[in-house]
Chain A
Amino acid sequence: MKMKRKRHSVLVLLAGLATAMFVAALVAAFNYRAGLDDLNSSLSAAGTRLGEKLAQHEAHLTALAAVVRMGEQEQTESVRGLAEAIASFYPRIIEIATIHVEGTSAVMKRYDRPNDPEIREQGSAGLPVMTTPGSTAVRSQTDDVQHYEIYKLVAPGLYLLMKIDAGGLVADGLFPHDYGYQLWLGETRLINRPLRASTLLTATRNLDVNSVSQPLRLEISRGFRATELLPPMIVLPLLSLLAAAFYLLVAYRRAVRAERHQERRAALLEQETKLAHAGRVNALGEMASGIAHELAQPVAALLSQSQAARRAIALERRDILEQALDANVREAKRAGDILGRMRAYIAGGASQLETIPLERALTEAMRLAEPDLARRGIALDTVIVSGERLVRIETIGFQQVIHNILRNAAEALDGKDDLRISIRADGSDKQAVLTITDNGPGIPAAALPHIFEPFFTTKPEGMGLGLPLCARLIEKMDGSMEAVNAGGARFIVRLPLETTR
């Protein structure tokens, strides 16, 4: 029972822990989802803004191309004016130039600065091959990964070049500061800003920016710290709430169990009371019949002897008279004994409980039986496992019980060799256990279940009240009594121990 309860409370504790973990996981999942939503909306917002910026580049190129194309002679001033304006307004556009291709050589004129166009000659081999005027091409630079170039073919042999600082595209607070991001052009990573803090979890999303001329791909990622997933402000109150609920549940269950236990006890007690009553009513009937039968014997003897005595007087037979009177005395005593036992059984004796050491109670009880046992040649083997044990008993009743058990044992041993009765006093810290075992033939198996029933007897002269009386006396001392076969017959008497004097 104790073991079971212990296992039960471990289970309850585990269930509580599991619930707490489940709740924490739920909170974490919720926060994670919210974080992902933030990430997604940041990404789509960033994508939109990035798309707008890229569209600006296209618009500028278109405008520049229109100016460049105007007239035979390149209108240097107009181009420069426009280019300067664009470059000063959009710092991320770091270079605006035209490229004239003649055969294998190319001449590049740069317009984004206020002074004269910087003219640089270079081979035309490095330029993207384009045939349709108005079309664009985009290229990353191998030596300078943060920048990329947009070429627009204005007319055959005439290119417009715009160089973009990708850093400028993403610099101005496009994302929350703790986000990491990467910007790709094809296979080239233009920008890489990794997550700064080390985190518990990371999530990454990417997006192809909506632009025909500049097919950029944006990838952003964010991390989740433990405190983000399980914010103490939420988790701690939740867990304490859970603990409180758990505690209440356990307390409630305990209360319910206690109440149920109480109810069961009450029901049991009531049942016992009913049973005891029924038992008494039944026992009364049995007793009346038992009294009639038991007393019939000595009374029958008394009557016959008395009548014989009267006749002996008439016959002047003094010997018969004396014999009859002796027998009368004996039988009257026997009848008295029967009535005494009867009275003791009915009343159970006036119970005067007193608290005395077990050892003393047992020694006193045995002293009464010892002479008889010695006369019968029965060896008594007594082991009292000591320790100051106090029992609350009715001394006379207790002595009667021990005497009765010993007498039964002695009678069972009659006519055997090596007669032995062993008495052992032992027990736990809650109760004393007395074990009285003989080495006789034991109790017949058929009789064993009935030996505590009134008027059940296996002895020809027995009345069947000895053991029932013993059991009742012990019950009155809040103890119990049982019989088993262990070699011979064994009687076990259990008495509760008193803790205080």
Chain B
Amino acid sequence: MIYLVDDDAAVREALAMLLSTYGKEVATFPDAAHLIAHADWTRPGVLVLDLRLPAVSGLQLMTQLSAKGISWPTIMITGHGDVEACRRAFRAGVTDFLTKPVDEHVLMEAIAACEVQLAEHLAQAETAALLKQLTGREAEVIELVSKGLGSKEIAAALTVSVRTVDSHRANIAAKLGTPSVAEQTRLWLSAHR
């Protein structure tokens, strides 16, 4: 899903047309207010913003969105390719900064990069949701599991019985949806790097 904001209708339509030939789903908005009011916030996607928008600039829009907890990958497009604006955009966290007119391949590469970022972001969010189900004790157990300790060593470290540790590990396997120690370790480490 791509959310495109540009005040120039022609540019908006042209980009939407090009993206649609790549099978992308595109929602277009003339300004920040329309985006905030009408975007489907339940469907995370890539933001393509014009830097110079009426009323609220692309950078200000990013700040407003992150205040709402939305930090989707963003591509900033501008008619003026000035260095200062570029620097500020990257500091604000854009994935890419492109100047108009935007070449198809450059745009598609940037979008692809954003989609990868978005996928990672979504996976991370999913993992975080799974790990959030674990209790405090279970988290202690899985941390020691990820360090390569066996049940006996864990029981010793936590001064509990081996049976208790095994019971925790069964719960962890059920909550994370996998009995594989390797998979559990990967999930834990991806969230606690």
| A-B complex is real | yes
CA distance A388 to B8 in the complex (A): 48
**Which of chain A's residues has its CB closest to B78's CB?**
A296
User: B11 is contacted by which of A304, A307, A311, A312 (Cβ under 8 Å)?
Assistant: A304
Interface hit among B36-44, B96-104, B117-125, B175-183: B96-104
Q: Is A460 an interface residue (CB 8 A)?
A: yes
**How many residue-residue contacts, CB under 8 A, span A and B?**
83
- Docked complex: B53-79 residues within 8 A CB-CB of A: 54, 79
Chain B: number of interface residues, binned into ranges: 20 to 34
Given A292-B79, A300-B14: A311 touches B21 (CB 8 Å cut-off): yes
**Which of chain A's residues has its CB closest to B15's CB?**
A304
Mark interface residues in B7-45 (1 if CB within 8 Å of A CB, else 0). Answer: 110110111011011100000000000000000000000
Given A334-B10, A460-B54: A304 touches B18 (CB 8 Å cut-off): yes
A interface, over-half SS: helix
Q: Is B88 an interface residue (CB 8 A)?
A: no
Q: State how many angstroms separate the Cβ of A329 from the closest Cβ of chain B.
A: 12
- Docked complex: B87-110 residues within 8 A CB-CB of A: 99-104, 107
Q: Which residues on the A side are within 8 Å of B22 (C-beta)?
A: 311
Q: Which residues on the A side are within 8 Å of B18 (C-beta)?
A: 304-305, 307-308, 311
Q: Is B80 an interface residue (CB 8 A)?
A: yes
Q: State how many angstroms separate the Cβ of B88 from the closest Cβ of chain A.
A: 18
Q: State how many angstroms separate the Cβ of B168 from the closest Cβ of chain A.
A: 55
* Count of chain A residues near B, Cβ 8 A: 28
User: B14 is contacted by which of A296, A301, A311 (Cβ under 8 Å)?
Assistant: A301
Given A289-B80, A460-B7, A460-B54: A296 touches B17 (CB 8 Å cut-off): no
User: B8 is contacted by which of A301, A303, A307, A311 (Cβ under 8 Å)?
Assistant: A301
- Do the beta carbons of B80 and A301 come within 8 Å of each other? no
| Closest A-B pairs by Cβ, 4 of them | A296-B79, A304-B14, A300-B100, A300-B101
Q: Can you identify 29 A-B contacts, CB atoms within 8 angstroms?
A: A292-B80, A293-B79, A296-B80, A296-B99, A297-B11, A299-B100, A300-B14, A300-B15, A300-B100, A301-B8, A301-B13, A302-B14, A302-B101, A304-B17, A305-B17, A308-B14, A308-B17, A308-B21, A311-B18, A311-B21, A311-B22, A317-B21, A320-B17, A320-B20, A324-B14, A327-B14, A327-B17, A331-B14, A460-B54
